[in-house]
Amino acid sequence: MIVRSRRPSGRPMGFTLIELLVVIAIIAVLIALLLPAVQAAREAARRAQCTSNLKQIGVALHNYVSSFGVFPPGYVSSIDPTVLDACNQDAENQHGVDLGSGWAWGSMILPQLEQQAVFNSINFNLSVAYHQNDTCSLTALNVYLCPSDPGPSTIPVFEDPPDPANPGSFNSSHIVDTLSRGNYVGMYGVGEVCAQSGATDSPNNGAGNPPGNPLGQHNGLFYRNSRVGFADITDGTSNTIAVGERSHNLSYVTWVARSIDGWLGKTSAIEGGTDRFNPSPEECWTQILGPAGLEDGPRTINNPEAHVEDYWSRHPGGANMLFGDGSVKFLKDGINPGPWRALATRNNGEIISADSF
């Protein structure tokens, strides 16, 4: 007997084209709704890791103070006493005041960050320009990198001032050093970071500056040959920024050292930089230090008129800042310039309300 299959009556099996398009549209809408939430969750995780990095740095700084009685110097260097006005741009272009060796606060606290082997590889009598110090200067350390700012593991230090009209137009013959990249710079204080950074180098200490001149007010925790202790922070450690963020799409940062006679310009477009920032070059002490800027109007975090030495992050809405007491706070882009400058100084006696930042 032959059994014949019977075709089902009524509607045929399968989806119509319209039904498939509706399903695809629904999936697309769900993806569009979920993607920002996924991105926000990832950024929250990256920001939390950045906060953790700064807390580790804060613990290391406090352990350093416990051992030596003071915070590490912003960087160490002897100076050329014949340069009487090292904040003069023309004089800087001719000859820098720093003679070396230039090692920065980030290198000083390596043992406190459980990086004793890297610390032991440093010959502190030589600058980072010597190949004997390549082990340290080329070693990438995650604790100094914000995960929200991906970039190269090493950065160039340029030998001469960048051309403001054509930033980022260098070739390999202009590079004097190559250093491990970082994202955290020490707080210098208020005003231009220049060679007036050191309480004992009176020829470069700005004694002849007119009243109100913003240059060289090294009233933060870090500057050249600084020796700031807790007793010097009369504004209170919880009201004084120690270290803050700078992303490499503004300019390069390193934790290693200040390269002697090196210069810092804004990051080229090829490496993620943008032309919205002020292109003026600075000597590369700004790769390890940053101020609360006053030139071109008071500049706060993520300011549209940012200079290469300012504070900048890729976290939406602000940047993480490590305070002198070891706490980490997220300061918003819209912080008032007054409290921002007050938080940058250690001993100006300002009264800061907790709701002002």
Residue range 257-269: mean pLDDT, rounded: 80
- The 10 Å Cβ neighbour count of residue 14 is 7
pLDDT at position 237 over 60: yes
258: pLDDT strictly greater than 70: yes
pLDDT at 5: 52
More confident residue, 292 or 354: 292
The residues near 234 (Cβ < 8 Å, ≥ 6 apart) are 346, 347, 349
Calculate the CA dihedral of residues 150, 152, 154, 156 and round it to 10 degrees: -110
Cα 267 from Cα 277, distance rounded (Å): 10
Alpha-carbon span 13 to 10, nearest angstrom: 9
- Read off the pLDDT band of 80 (50, 70, 90): confident
Mean predicted confidence (pLDDT) in 111-133: 94
Given a contact cutoff of 8 angstroms between Cβ atoms, the answer to whether 211 and 277 are in contact is no
User: Long-range contacts: 114-123, Cβ < 8 Å, 24+?
Assistant: 115/141
Check whether 205 has a pLDDT greater than 50. Answer: no
CB 18 within 8 A of CB 204: no
Q: Are 206 and 97 contacting, i.e. CB atoms less than 8 angstroms apart?
A: no
User: pTM, whole model, 2 decimals?
Assistant: 0.83
Q: Which pLDDT score, from 0 to 100, does residue 181 have?
A: 94
Domain ranges of the chain: 17-356
Asked if residue 101 has a cis previous peptide bond (ω within 30° of 0), the answer is: yes
Phi/psi of residue 292, nearest 5 degrees: -90, 100
Q: Is the per-residue pLDDT at 85 higher than 70? A: no
Q: Which two tokens stand for residue 75?
A: 């960087």
- Give yes or no for residue 14 having a pLDDT over 70: no
- Residue 116 is predicted with a pLDDT of 96
Q: How confident is the model at residue 114 (pLDDT cuts 50, 70, 90)?
A: very high
| Nearest to 59, CA basis, from 324, 336, 334, 345 | 324
Q: What is the band of 229 on the pLDDT scale with cuts at 50, 70, 90?
A: very high
What is the number of alpha carbons within 13 Å of residue 262 lying toward its C-beta? 28
Q: Pick from 239, 253, 343: which is nearest to 291 by CA?
A: 343
Mean pLDDT, the chain, integer: 81
Q: Cα separation of 322 and 326, whole Å?
A: 6
